[in-house]
Amino acid sequence: MRPIEMVDLKQQYQKIKKEVDDAVLNVMESAAFIGGPQVNIFAKNLSEYLGVKHVIPCANGTDALQIAMMALGLQPGDEVITPSFTYVATTEVIALLKLKPVFVEVDTKTFCAEPDAIKKAITSKTKAIVPVHLYGHAAKMEEIMAIAEEHNLFVIEDNAQAIGGDYYFKNGTVKKTGVIGHIGCTSFFPSKNLGCYGDGGAMFTNDDELALKLKMIANHGQSKRYYHDMVGCNSRLDGVQAAILNIKLPLLDKYIDARIKAADFYDKAFAGNEKITTPYRAGYCKHVFHQYTLILENTDREGLVNYLAQNNIPSMLYYPVPAHKQKMFASFGGGNYHLEKTDWLTQRVISLPIHTELDEEQQNFIIQKVLEFINK
């Protein structure tokens, strides 16, 4: 049996090595290291894949969120509603821009922000909502967009974990996640569903004016060379990374299928175990399984993590501390929140290895060891 990895990028690379190596060497030859044709081609390819008018590449997913908030003209003190149960990047950039993060509860099935909780958190200072499609499962975007419209709020989708996912609207319309809100953000961190071999990120929008602003802010607020119309930052995608992404984008759907197949396999094996809740899949979206996350009850979770580690099986707790309990947010009133569902989840979730290269022998071994511990 091959060693089990949380994400097996080495094995994945071996299968596309020739194409990737050629593409990288071509960038070297062309010396188009920052920006350049590969970046432009990738932006065009991705906008076609997503069905969105504009894709603006940038340096990473965290920058994408920050630039999105800057482009919307949010001002210090403006409130931004976001789940507490997310990766730190989502909430951190809100604080960095001196906006006020307002943390809301998530649904214990989907792990995503609850529309009702969002509604209740709206005040006269609220300017934006940042739903996160956690683990690859979409938040209830149709309801969230309706709330945003009613209260005149912007919606920035954190799509870093859900690229390639579909959203099924009640009227039959299908859209990719990330292109439903005013701006969508993603990350091409190597372990993401569409990952490059370093840092990378992008923003999506159908709004021409916003697209121009996003592009300018990502490049020092520059309208033409050395003319800076607004304060921006330096956030660029490398030519090498874009060239790799141009190889991997056509494989994304296949990669997602492999993840779903692995999730199905786990689901079947864990079905009916009263201590294990397998990931929920709402009918309104296609789950792309960036993570395969179980909820464990009446189980020594730490003990399971250690038992798996002893058997050379990695596992992860995404995320052990929710935003409202991070020291980082103490001065934002983090300690005053009572988010029972979020706390309940953080104590019970565990993510098992899931990636494009996982085989049944490996999965059977993981399943055997999980059940051995849980049923003992």
Ligand X SMILES: *Cc1c(COP(=O)(O)O)cnc(C)c1O
- What contacts 183, CB < 8 A, 6 or more positions away? 68, 71, 72, 154, 155, 156, 157, 203, 204, 205, 210, 214
x-marked contacts with ligand X along 89-118 as a string, rule CB under 6 A: xx----------------------------
Query: Cβ(111)–Cβ(131) under 8 Å?
Result: no
Q: What is the largest CA-CA distance in the chain?
A: 68
Q: Which is nearer to ligand X, 64 or 276 (CB)?
A: 64
Q: How far is the CB of 187 from ligand X (least distance, A)?
A: 3
Range 21-80, binding ligand X (CB under 6 A): 60-62
Q: Which is nearer to ligand X, 83 or 115 (CB)?
A: 83
Characterize 293-312 residue by residue with b for buried, 16 or more Cβ atoms within 10 angstroms of its Cβ, and e for exposed. Answer: bbbbeebebeebbebbeeee
Range 265-284, binding ligand X (CB under 6 A): none
349 binds ligand X (CB under 6 A): no
Tokens of 222: 């520059």
363 binds ligand X (CB under 6 A): no
Binding-site size for ligand X (CB under 6 A) equals 15
Q: CA-based angle 66:69:71, to the nearest 5? A: 110
Tokens of 362: 């490996």
Q: Which residue is nearest to ligand X (CB)?
A: 61
Tokens of 51: 């069905």
Which one of 87, 135, 289, 292 is in contact with ligand X (CB under 6 A)?
A: 87
339 binds ligand X (CB under 6 A): no
161 binds ligand X (CB under 6 A): yes
Q: Which is nearer to ligand X, 74 or 93 (CB)?
A: 93
Q: How far is the CB of 46 from ligand X (least distance, A)?
A: 15
4 binds ligand X (CB under 6 A): no
187 binds ligand X (CB under 6 A): yes
Q: How far is the CB of 60 from ligand X (least distance, A)?
A: 4
Q: Are strands 183-187 and 174-176 parallel, antiparallel or unpaired?
A: unpaired
Nearest to 262 by CA among 361, 359, 189: 359
* Choices 101-109, 156-164, 305-313, 343-351 (CB under 6 A): range interacting with ligand X: 156-164
Q: Which is nearer to ligand X, 187 or 246 (CB)?
A: 187
177 binds ligand X (CB under 6 A): no
Q: Which is nearer to ligand X, 186 or 246 (CB)?
A: 186
Query: Cβ(67)–Cβ(217) under 8 Å?
Result: yes
288 binds ligand X (CB under 6 A): no
Q: How far is the CB of 183 from ligand X (least distance, A)?
A: 14
Q: Which is nearer to ligand X, 188 or 307 (CB)?
A: 188
Which one of 55, 81, 99, 132 is in contact with ligand X (CB under 6 A)?
A: 132
Total residue count of the chain as it appears in this document:
376
Residue 286 C-beta-side C-alpha neighbours within 13 Å: 18
In angstroms and rounded to an integer, the radius of gyration of the C-alpha atoms of the chain is 21
201 binds ligand X (CB under 6 A): yes
- How many angstroms separate the Cα of 20 from the Cα of each of 17, 46, 202, 298, 355? 5, 18, 21, 46, 19
Contact set with ligand X (CB under 6 A): 60-62, 86-87, 89-90, 132, 158, 160-161, 187, 189, 199, 201
